[in-house]
Every structure is written in structure tokens, then in C-alpha cells.
Amino acid sequence: MSDLYIIKLGGSAITEKEGNKFEAKKPVLKRIAAELKKALEEKEFSLIVVHGAGPFGHTNVVEFDINNGVYTDRHKEGLAKTIKDCNYLDSVVVDSLKESGIEAQAFDPNKIVEQDNKKIVGFETKGIEQALKEGKIPVVFGQMEPKKRQECKKNSFD
């Protein structure tokens, strides 16, 4: 098995976080993708890309006051918006990688992470492991996960 590297693309590096804008820095993502592609061509290794959310997550969490739980209809609206916005940003990251020739595959944290009281208590890795075996680059991102996964299935916001 080849070496495995995990690279984290910070939300402030790939989004217009300073201006609190819901915009991805597409030229930055294009450059990062090109550099990763070049590295993958120069040396054989496996890679997992993790990225932050910048304002796509943080702004919504503050605006809808959902950092400490989702209890009201307004909180539920904020959670749904946060998930939608973070998924959008992830699609931009994955598309940037694919456009550079990297076979990237998104993994939604709401489907693979189990959390309790803001602590990760479970992480389903089988899909990520399979993607790595197939030579794909898994892409995972920061996303709000307010309840245990089993509870979220009952009240899915997908």
C-alpha cells in the first residue's frame, strides 16, 4: 500500500471568509488542484482531501444561532441552509479537482459521522477505504452534525 496523506484546505483559504461572502475562491482551488495533480504524477501516494466551510457554515451557524442545538423551526431552517450551503461548497471543491484530472469523490459527513454532544463517536470509513483502493481521492468537509446519526435519519434534512 502506498503512503497516505491527508490535506486540509482551510475555509479561509478557499472561500471569501474575510468579506463574509458565500463565494468559493475558484482560482485558488484551481491552483491547488493543479498542484495536487502534479504531485500525484510525480510520486505514487494515496490522498484524502478535507476542507473547511468558511462562511458557508460559520455565518449560518451564527445567524441562525444553531451552535448549541437545533430546537425551533428557525433553527431547523438554519440547519437545512447550512447543510445545503456546505454541500454546494463541497461540489465546487470536487469539481475543481475533477477539472484538473483528479478522480475525486465526495463524502457527506452527515452520512458517515456519528456525533454525541459535539464529540465524534463514530466514523464509517468503508466507503472512503473503497475509494482509496479504487485510486480515487475522497473529499470530506466540515459540516454541522447536531445529533447522533440515528436521530438525524428520523429528521433528515437532505
Cβ neighbours around 75 below 10 Å, total: 16
Counted domains in the chain: 1
- Residue 58 belongs to domain with CATH number: 3.40.1160.10
Q: What angle, rounded to 10 degrees, do the helices at 73-99 and 26-42 form?
A: 50
- Residue 32's Cβ-side half-sphere holds a number of Cα atoms within 13 Å equal to 21
Q: What are the pLDDT digits (tens) for 42-95?
A: 999 999 999 999 999 889 888 898 888 888 999 999 999 999 999 999 999 999
Say what the pTM is: 0.86
Residue 118 has pLDDT above 60, yes or no: yes
Q: What are the pLDDT digits (tens) for 2-37?
A: 899 999 999 999 999 877 789 999 999 999 999 999
Q: Which domain holds residue 114?
A: 4-154
> According to the model, what pLDDT value does residue 153 have?
40
Alpha-helical (H) ranges within 15-148 are: 26-42, 55-63, 73-99, 109-112, 126-133
